[in-house]
Amino acid sequence: MRNKGISALFCAGFMAGAAVLGGAVPAAAQTAGSQAAAPDIRERLEKIPGMKVVSVADREGYPLYTLTYVQPVDHGNPRAGTFTQRATLWHKATDKPTVLYTGGYTLASNTTALTKLIDANQVSVEHRYFEQSRPSGQAGSDWSKLTVEQEAADEHRLTRALRGIEKGKWLGTGASKGGMTATYHERFYPDDLDAVVAFVAPNDANNKDDSGYERFFRTVGTAECRKALNAVQREMLVRREALLPKFEADAKANGETFEETLGTTDRAYEFAVLDQVWNFWQSGTVDNCPTVPDAEKASDDELYDWSKKHGFSVYQDESLGTNGTGPYYRQAATQLGWADLKFKHLKDVRHHPDIYQPNSVLPEAMRGSYNNRTIADVDRWVKTRGQRMMFIYGENDPWSAEKFTPSHRDSYRYEAPGSNHGASIAKLPAADQTEAIATIKRWADVK
């Protein structure tokens, strides 16, 4: 999420989604059977102003509606233009609960674990300014409208429109940036949803204080593993002269360029090295520690090849612009925040000491200035006024180093021991798992 391990949030969102969610959506071929399953639902959807049913597919015997919904570019000024936001509705029955799922990025195609747990309908929504859910023309280049508040308002309008059809309880969910997005929706429109279950949702309430992240990297795993990882990371920069040509050869072979974002291969290489330990813990576990090579004894090829398989992430122009992960980094730079890690063990071998922040990986037109006001407000609200909220984190997940603290208003936080960014209810200790499932079923009003 943020640029906490700056590769992270885009990768994090989908990595966490893979672990927390399951079951791919069948191909979206239109079928007569799915339409026959609930003919009145399609009619009711098409009567909603601004709603269009693009296609209907069959998923496990129930209709999956692919939708577009017209949204204001600026909810504070509806006359300033519109865009179409993509969504899907997997409909089972109007009296069942409904799960509102946002991945925080593009339109997710999976069934969430929460949906399966309570046998719910599921609404999935694409975040504004990602992939196809973005304004065209001049408005599409106005990044000032890509905000937490505007996306919350998008989901508010969509939820209110569909609650006229799906009458049961509504629960919001998401993993990583999706969990953050669900939390933001709840803060600004607390009457929309009956509860929220957020997985591995980072909370950078004070972007100037990264002590939680620094403490995480001083304590995660074992001392031997931490020492070995830091040594490899340092050696990657010590041997820059020998390893940079390998990096440049890979970039050329893969068609990767850096002119619009990081600027040079040297800056791109250093950025990838800085991300390495973060990404190791994000997707790995202590079981991967024995694979870490001896930094001093490893050959250049051994060091470079191991790193590419264990956390060395490359930021290139092709994936960081308007149609890639750029919208996320824009949000990190302006509202969500990032981990400005000190990297004390690398101080004397870095060439670019101020590089580790989200504006570094954005095209110039997408860069922005940070403002803490909104995220600090959400943090306070969740602590004091949030109701029926559940947060699930991973003990060894760097993104979980700065957490939301729920209130005492029927709200809870759990930690999955030894888990990374794929923490889930299934990975909680038995007693916590039983308690969490019972709470969710109570919220959803199911037995």
- pLDDT tens for 20-29 read 433 333 333 3
Mean pLDDT of 108-133: 97
pLDDT at residue 13 above 80?
Answer: no
The mean pLDDT of the chain is: 91
| Residue bearing tokens 């002590």 | 211
Predicted confidence (pLDDT) at residue 12 exceeds the cutoff of 60 = no
| pLDDT above 80: residue 38 | no
Angle at 1 between CA 409 and CA 394, to 5 degrees: 60
Residue among 365, 352, 338 nearest 260 (CA): 365
pLDDT tens profile 336-366: 999 999 999 999 999 999 999 999 999 999 9
Among the ranges 6-10, 32-36, 55-59, 133-137, which has the highest mean pLDDT value?
A: 55-59
94 pLDDT higher than 90? yes
Q: Which residues contact 352 (CB under 8 A, 6 or more apart)?
A: 266, 267, 270, 271
Indicate whether 407 pLDDT > 90: yes
**Partners of residue 198 on adjacent β-strands:** 174, 391
> What's the pLDDT band for 330 if we cut at 50, 70, 90?
very high
pLDDT tens digits, 257-286: 999 999 999 999 999 999 999 999 999 999
Beta bridge pairs of residue 110: 24
Confidence of residue 150 (pLDDT cuts 50, 70, 90): very high
pTM value is 0.92
Structure-model confidence comparison of residues 24 and 233, the more confident one: 233
